[in-house]
Chains A and B, each alone.
Chain A
Amino acid sequence: MLSFSPRYLFAVPVLAGSLALLASQSHVSVAPDPDNAGLKLPAGFGALKVAETGGKARHLAVTPQGVIYVKLNRVKDGKGILVLHSQPTGKATVTGGFGDYGGTGIYVKNGYLYASSDHAVYRYKLDAKGEVEAPGKGELLVRGLKVGSQHESKSIVLDNADNLYVNIGAYANACQEQDRTRGSKGIPNCPILDSAGGIWQFKASQANQTYKNGTRYATGLRNVVGLDWNQQDNQLFVMQHGRDQLHDNWPALYTDQQSAQLPAECMYALKPGDNAGWPYLYYDPQQKKKILGPEYGGDGKKEATGNYLDPAAAYPAHMAPNGLLFYTGTMFPAKYRNGAFIAFHGSWNRAPEPQAGYYVVFQPFKDGKPSGQWEVFADNFAGSAAKVASGRADHRPCGLAQGPDGSLYVSDDSKGTIYRIVYNAKK
């Protein structure tokens, strides 16, 4: 029974108002910091430090109205999610917070804010201004997700068909009988894969789900922190953190130099049922082959056999891709549209070789597939080349989000700085 509701009358001016707001936002010039927030950027781009949150700022999300939500890895002053509101110049103030749990994942879609702890996913209804209606009352969507003492993050993203994708990282390096122990063999039919080491699909609007309500969407993924839904080919893309310690655990097979360069950090384009092959294989970017892991009888040369997914793109080892974002805005020049930004958190597993990463990369895409060489887009989060080499970076890029005007937001989970990158030159 349809009846005329005065609420619709109210909705019209609200909608018009927010459209006007959007239009005015795109004309207000966001002011980059004089030093571009310490970042090195391509010509025409500028950056500002939006805010210093002082928390371990993992992923972040920006609503269509421009409200910024930041997920903290550890609760700070009782809050695991921070709310930030921006001035027209781009500087923002932390105006509040909620959620008494640490975690990584946060995402805005269809009028809801989704957020994850290391073992559960919640959602919060957003009002017409992009504000959470009832901060104290998150709706528990998924609970009881496996968490160990490594790869705890549950990164999240949604598709356009009301599905929620959750990474459940493997709580091991290579599924050895003794984790990270020299010479320890891999466990056959790695039991971790039953409940971790992959991407699980749940319903985005169903409360109180557990493993039995979800589907293991893709497996053989050691740990994914950065993931995004590609709108062009309607497909999930993920960035895997490749395995560590080939030299430490197999010194007869790998030098420490080889260990620093193997394996590639891989981007995968996933379809339901895909298997990327962890822990049985790793991807060698020099040989461009899927190599059988030493835990499972590999020697650095033997190729893995079986039906395993090839990476869509490969990046240098151990750089820890923590954020993935397909850029759909119009602020940046045309070459960036529908391409991927990747936040590389920076390595630890290259010692005694110099560490690497601590930057945001741009990967060009064409027709929904990586196309052409990736390039460093935003560099010097670390503060200096010496701080990159030692791994003692000042800032570590982790999360990526796109603002309503097409700005690129970057979170830093070391000092809690929130960055905003804008394009000011004429296109």
Chain B
Amino acid sequence: MTFRLAFLAFALAGGVFSLQAQHRPAPKKAPAKADPALAASLARGAVVYKNVCITCHQADGGGVPNMNPPLIKTQYVLGDKARLAHIVLAGLAEPIEIDGDEYKQHMPAQAYLTDQQVADVLTYVRNSFGNKASAVQVAEVKAVRATLPK
């Protein structure tokens, strides 16, 4: 009994990917194995999101009308990772338009975050709120940071 509970807990903690893989017919390509590094990055990213981003971008990633842009399925989030990392590190002073709606509030630079924290939170954002996109690596953040004026 104890063993079975422990196994269940392990399976749940092991992530949705492995669980799904067991119950679904094998797709053509080999299913992505649960990536412990990715899972850890997502978990750390969720903490950074709650501490730094949630006030403006909200728990559901939907932002605030007219002020703070949504992070759901926009090219800013799903597109060029360097541009995305640049927004976090340098901020964004100009209003932007997404799907015909304008978002005007100034996004402050979050350069005090470590490269690891930026990579984690962006990986989290790119894989939350209905988003699905590749992880952001520490090296990619480091490269963007190197371009910022000192």
- A binding-site residues for B, Cβ under 8 Å: 73-74, 149-150, 152, 178-184, 244-245, 247-248, 251, 259, 348-349, 351-352, 390-392, 414
Contacts and interface: CB of A to CB of B under 8 A. Distances in A.
A62 to B, nearest CB: 25
Nearest to A260: B55
Contacts of A182: 108, 110, 112
Contacts, number: 55
A149 B65 contact: no
Given A180-B108, A248-B55, 14 more contacts: A73-B66, A74-B102, A149-B95, A149-B104, A182-B108, A182-B112, A183-B112, A247-B55, A348-B68, A351-B54, A351-B59, A390-B58, A392-B60, A414-B65
A351 B52 contact: no
Contact of B108 (A179, A259, A349): A179
Nearest to B109: A181
A352 B59 contact: yes
A178 B108 contact: yes
Interface of B: 50-52, 54-56, 58-60, 62, 64-68, 91, 93, 95, 102, 104-106, 108-110, 112
Contacts of A181: 91, 108-109
B124 to A, nearest CB: 15
Nearest to B65: A414
B76 to A, nearest CB: 17
Contacts of A179: 106, 108
A172 B64 CA distance: 17
Contacts of B58: 348, 351, 390-391
15 contacts: A152-B104, A178-B108, A184-B108, A245-B55, A248-B52, A348-B64, A348-B68, A351-B55, A351-B59, A352-B54, A390-B58, A390-B59, A391-B58, A391-B64, A414-B65
